[in-house]
């Protein structure tokens, strides 16, 4: 399995993946997630100037983080984590799981990842359900950001639509699950769990 004994997990994760923890106020599971990813950037949702619903503010912050990554990061992938997720694995196993699932089969195997659903290393369809843990490739991010900004729906639905419109491959693997805390983001006055 991909030369397990020689897999340089630390380098594959720290030098290929930027990590952003999206949080309203730095509470909930933010510090626990930071302990798994000391290199993570904590993105507070209270500094967005967008007017509107909490969904609108969250979507704007999500897009701002993708723009920041595109302009300032040297890594290939960015992983955005909501502050109400918990890792499925211990730290060492989590990093291994991230490395093994994001190593491309071919040199230009550009894909986005949903890291909160089970998958088998294979391309899957996008389902537009939740944005708990998503990873984006830098290679096609400019087009994705433009598409995300053009659609008024919540971010998870918009990601799904844009991936389909732009023919972006999505893969999935389970690294994080929802903690069970009520979400602060609502879809049409229904709290998402």
pLDDT (tens digit per residue) in 134-179: 899 988 899 999 999 999 888 888 998 999 999 988 888 889 988 8
Identify the bridge partners of residue 191 per DSSP, sorted by sequence position: 186
Question: pTM of the entire structure?
Answer: 0.82
Q: How do the residues of the chain divide into helix, strand and coil, expressed in percent and rounded to 5?
A: 40, 25, 40
pLDDT tens track for 27-40: 888 999 998 888 89
C-alpha–C-alpha distance, residues 7 and 161, integer Å: 35
pLDDT of amino acid 84: 87
More confidently predicted of 35 and 189: 35
Instruction: Read off the tokens for 71.
Output: 């302009």
Q: Does domain 4-180 have CATH number 3.30.420.10?
A: no
């Amino acid at each position: 399995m991909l030369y397990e004994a020689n897999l340089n997990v630390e380098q594959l994760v720290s030098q290929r993946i930027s990590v952003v923890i999206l949080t309203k106020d730095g509470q909930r599971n933010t510090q626990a997630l930071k302990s798994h990813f000391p290199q993570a950037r904590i993105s507070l949702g209270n500094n967005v100037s967008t007017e509107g619903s909490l969904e609108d503010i969250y979507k704007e912050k999500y897009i701002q983080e993708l723009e920041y990554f595109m302009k300032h990061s040297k890594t290939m992938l960015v992983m955005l984590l909501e502050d109400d997720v918990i890792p499925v694995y211990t730290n060492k196993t989590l990093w291994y799981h991230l490395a093994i699932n994001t190593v491309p089969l071919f040199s230009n195997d550009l894909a986005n990842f949903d890291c909160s659903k089970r998958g088998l290393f294979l391309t899957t369809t996008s389902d537009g359900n939740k944005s708990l843990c998503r990873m984006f490739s830098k290679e096609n991010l400019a087009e994705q950001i433009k598409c995300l900004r053009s659609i008024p729906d919540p971010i998870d639905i918009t990601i799904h639509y844009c991936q389909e419109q732009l023919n972006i491959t999505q893969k999935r693997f389970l690294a994080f699950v929802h903690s069970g805390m009520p979400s602060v983001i609502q879809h049409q006055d229904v709290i998402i769990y």
